[in-house]
Each structure stands twice: as structure tokens, then as C-alpha cells.
Amino acid sequence: MHTEALSAILGRPVVYHHRTHDAHRAVLLATGASAMVANLLRGLDRLFREGILAETTTTVAALTGRAARSAVDWLRENAALFQPSGAAAAR
């Protein structure tokens, strides 16, 4: 996680709290998700983490004609979208 960079860009603290799979399931269940939904979401998390998001592809460049950007670069370019509406209008 790039929490330091995100905090600097947004001008407020950004904190990431890692959860184990079991802890994540417990939170989902505690917030009203059924066991089936909790298990499905955990499976999707794992699929993305270990599969789809684990590989680097040229898809973005092929579709847009531009190189992919990092999440931090994208956030720098779009930081105003994450500010309170009055703050964005004041800039």
C-alpha cells in the first residue's frame, strides 16, 4: 500500500488495516452479510489478488493508446474528486 503517498496527495491521513481471511469473513458476517456472500466475497478477493491483479498486461495501452499509470499517479491527477465539494470549487 502507498498510504504515505495517498495521505500527502489528499492532505489527510489514509490508513490501511490488513485483515486475515478469517477476520475479513467475520467483519462481513458482523455487518449483515450471509455466510454465502461472505465466502463469495472472500473468494473474489483471492481471485483478484492471486490471479487477475497479480499479472501485468498491456491491455490498458492496447485499449487506450496510452501507457498504464500507477494508482498514485492516477490519484495525483484526480485528487480533486476526493475532496469535499466546497474545497474542489474553491481551487
Give the span between the Cα atoms of 48 and 45, in whole angstroms.
5
Q: Is the dihedral of CA 45, 40, 15, 87 positive or negative?
A: positive
- Average pLDDT in the chain: 86
Phi-psi region of 43 (alpha: psi -120 to 50; beta: other; left: phi over 0): alpha
Distances (CA, A) of 75 to 1, 45, 67, 81: 13, 22, 16, 9
User: What's this model's pTM, rounded to 2 decimal places?
Assistant: 0.54
The pLDDT, as a whole number, for residue 18 is 87
The pLDDT, as a whole number, for residue 49 is 79
pLDDT range class, residue 65, cuts 50, 70, 90: very high
